[in-house]
Structures are given as C-alpha cells and as structure tokens.
C-alpha cells in the first residue's frame, strides 16, 4: 500500500491528481532511507511554519 497522500479532482473534463507530503508519508520515506542505509536526506518545503 502506498504511503503517499494525494487528492484528485476534475476540472474542464480533465482528471487531475495532486500528491503532497504529510507526517505519515515523510516518516515512511525516512524509514525507507534508513532501511536502505541512506544516512543523508533533505526536504524542501514551500511556505512558512505556523506559530
């Protein structure tokens, strides 16, 4: 089962999919990196952290 989060919608008769990260999907990717022996990862995010 995929750990990626996504949303789907239809606009102008075209089906669209938006994939995005949440705590669960990021954790799954970090855990996989650790399992594969990858010691360095980085993430980029758009926007500011909420106070």
Looking at residue 51, what is its pLDDT? 67
Unique residue bearing structure tokens 């990626």? 4
Assess if residue 50 is contained within a domain: no
Looking at residue 1, what is its pLDDT? 44
Check if the beta carbon of residue 15 is closer than 8 Å to that of residue 23. Answer: no
Comparing 12 with 2, which gets the higher pLDDT? 12
Assess if residue 47 is contained within a domain: no
Q: Is 18 left (phi over 0), alpha (psi -120 to 50) or beta?
A: beta
Check if the beta carbon of residue 28 is closer than 8 Å to that of residue 3. Answer: yes
**pTM score of the predicted model:** 0.63
Assess if residue 40 is contained within a domain: no
What is the percentage of the chain residues whose pLDDT exceeds 70?
Answer: 92
Q: Containing domain of residue 29, as a range?
A: 5-35
User: What tokens appear for 42 in the block?
Assistant: 């980085």
Query: How many domains in the chain?
Result: 1
Radius of gyration of the CA atoms of the chain, in A = 15
């Amino acid at each position: 089962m995929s750990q990626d989060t996504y949303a789907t919608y239809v606009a102008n008769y075209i089906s669209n999919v938006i994939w995005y990260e949440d705590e669960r999907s990021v954790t799954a990717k970090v855990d996989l990196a650790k399992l594969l022996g990858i010691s360095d990862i980085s993430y980029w995010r758009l926007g500011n952290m909420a106070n």
